Structure 1
Amino acid sequence: MKITGSCYCGEIKYQAESQNNNALICHCSDCQRMSSGPFRAVIIAEPNSVVFTQGEPKEFVKTAQSGNKRAQGFCGTCGTTLYATNAEKEGRVYGLRIGAVDQRDEFKPSAQIWSQSTLAWLNDLHKVPAFETTPQ
């Protein structure tokens, strides 16, 4: 499946290939911290299929909880996180941040990883009232 994506300001755009059910949720503490959220959802792109059609992302290389070096790609203008991939430039496999993918509604996570770090309240999220807009 061909997918496209961009950062919030539109400075960076990309296209990639991915299998339709190739989405994961990561609960590791690094993903919580780097996303400023309770988890991070990603779509795994086919190896070597990501092409940046506009702009060049900035990268920050960190050491993951697994010990692997991971390059974190983001827009240097608006700060949108776009992906994580191996630090080496050859043979990159991208975990594209689902919120930046245009076709995000077509993907459903097939697994959750680093579940020992899951925030306890996520198990009861379906019990929290939901509103169409901000409640008055």
Structure 2
Amino acid sequence: MKVDGACLCGNIKYEAEIDPDRVAICHCSDCQTNSGSAYGVVASITNGQFRLLTGALQEFEKTAESGRVRHLSFCPNCGTRIHACTKDDPSAFFGLRVGTIRQRAQLKPRLQVWCSSALPWVSDLSSIPRRDDQG
């Protein structure tokens, strides 16, 4: 599936080819910290088909819980995380942050990973009162 997206400030714009069947929720502690939330949601980029259209990404290198050295890319202006990959390993998971994809409403996660790190309350959000806006 061809997608396009951008960072929060619009400095970074990209297009990519993703596999909509490989959208996952990651509960690892790195994703929790890096997203500032309970988990990260990523889509698998197909065969490295990611093309930066505008801007220049900044990278941060992090050894993940798996032991792999991951390169986390983000906008140097607004800090929006764009993707993570393992350099020089085309077989490793190349994850594009779903929140940056314009077509994100079409990308329902199919899998959850690192569930041993999941926060205990994320499995039942239906019990938390809801509002349509900040109200």
Write the letter of the residue equivalent to 2:50. Answer: V
Could you tell me which runs of 5 or more consecutive residues in structure 1 were left unpaired when the two chains were aligned. Answer: none
**Partner secondary structure for residue 122 of structure 1:** coil
**Equivalent residues of 2:29, 2:117 under 8 A apart:** yes
Report the count of equivalent residues.
134
Match of 1:99 in 2: 99
Residue 109 of structure 2 is matched in structure 1 by 109
1:134 match: 134
> Which TM-score applies when normalising by structure 2?
0.94
1:6-17 equivalent positions in 2, closer than 5 A: 6-17=6-17
Q: Following the alignment from structure 1 to structure 2, what is the Cα–Cα distance between the partners of residues 102 and 39? A: 20
Kindly provide the amino acid, as one letter, of the partner of residue 110 in structure 2: S
Name the SS of the counterpart of 1:108 in structure 2. Answer: coil
**Structure 2 runs not aligned, ≥5 long:** none
C-alpha displacement at 1:93, in angstroms? 4.8
Residue identity over aligned pairs, in percent, reads 39
TM-score, with length taken from structure 1: 0.93
Distance 1:53 1:129 in 2: 40
**Inter-partner Cα distance in structure 1 for 2:45 and 2:107:** 12
1:123/1:93 CA distance change after superposition, 3 Å:
closer
Change (3 A) 1:115 1:93: closer
CA RMSD across the alignment = 1.3
Residue 62 of structure 1: aligned partner = 62
Contact 2:20/2:43, CA 8 A, preserved across alignment = no
* Match in the other structure for 2:5: 5
- Matched residue type, 1:84: A
Q: Per-residue CA shift, 1:55-95, capped at 9, x if unaligned? A: 1110001000000000000000011011111133x637520
1:13–1:55 Cα contact (<8 Å) kept = yes
